[in-house]
Amino acid sequence: MATRTVGVIGGMGPAATVRFMGRVLDLTPAACDQDHLRLIVDNNSSAPDSNAAIAGSGPSPAPVLAAMARGLQRAGAEILVMPCNTAHAFVGAILAVSDLPFIDLIEAAADEAAAQGASRVGVLAADGCLQAGLYQHAFAHRHLAPVLLEPRAQARFMTLIRAIKAGERGPDVREEMKRLTEELVGAGAQALVAGCTEIPLVLDPGDVGVPLTDSLDALARATIVAATRTPASPRP
């Protein structure tokens, strides 16, 4: 079966990109190497921090993201993905320089959360992702009400994400992440979205008492569908 080469705008963070690639592999039905999708990956962590850019305290990553998109298209990518939630605030810069189909992580995660049947869905996401309203917007289109952490808990979440990016994965980190999910459930969330790619590095679905959508897994599934989908035939 002909498949389309996937271009991966990566590096935000680099560990999430590697995990995304691993999940695409795991979720692809394959009996031998040759059955796997072709991924061309730019695992480039030099893009300025999206959170600082959205807060107005740092430069925009948009030029780096656009350059990666152009480079991946030139290198042979036929569809594009970006395994980072917050960077989706800058998707416009990618769409402006590439005519390739872009498989949107936020849309993929919101679709999976909507399929859970809950109406109030908790979102664990970085400051910039929330300030840009990415999940709030995607949820509104699907008649889902977002449940967010109160500001002090959100600050604890950001501290935790920085620790995970620095390589911490120990029991303290895992316990704190679990507590934050419990705060969202306590605030009425009937399901959760792990809307930051570092979360699943320290949180298993079994740690949470409600359905948990892993945004990176949702993107992996949507990527496999998009890369293997037969283009629609023209109407008769």
Residue of 27, 30, 96, 155 interacting with its own copies (CB under 8 A): 30
Separation of alpha carbons 42 and 9, rounded Å: 6
Taking CA atoms, 158 is separated from 93, 121, 170, 218, in Å, by: 26, 20, 17, 22
Residue of 74, 137, 141, 179 interacting with its own copies (CB under 8 A): 74
Interaction of residue 177 with its own copies, rule CB under 8 A: no
Active site annotation includes 84: yes
Q: Which amino acid is at 62?
A: A
Interaction of residue 31 with its own copies, rule CB under 8 A: yes
Structure tokens at 9: 């705008």
Q: Which helix (H) or strand (E) holds 5?
A: none
Catalytic residue, candidates 72, 79, 84, 134:
84
Site for its own copies in 152-171 (CB under 8 A): 162, 165-167
Nearest to 157 by CA among 196, 113, 189, 192: 196
Number of residues located near its own copies, criterion CB under 8 A: 36
Active site annotation includes 196: yes
Separation of alpha carbons 15 and 164, rounded Å: 10
Interaction of residue 63 with its own copies, rule CB under 8 A: no
Residues that bind its own copies (CB under 8 A): 11-15, 17-18, 21-22, 25, 30-36, 38-46, 49, 71-72, 74-76, 162, 165-167
Q: Provide the annotated active-site residues.
A: 84, 196
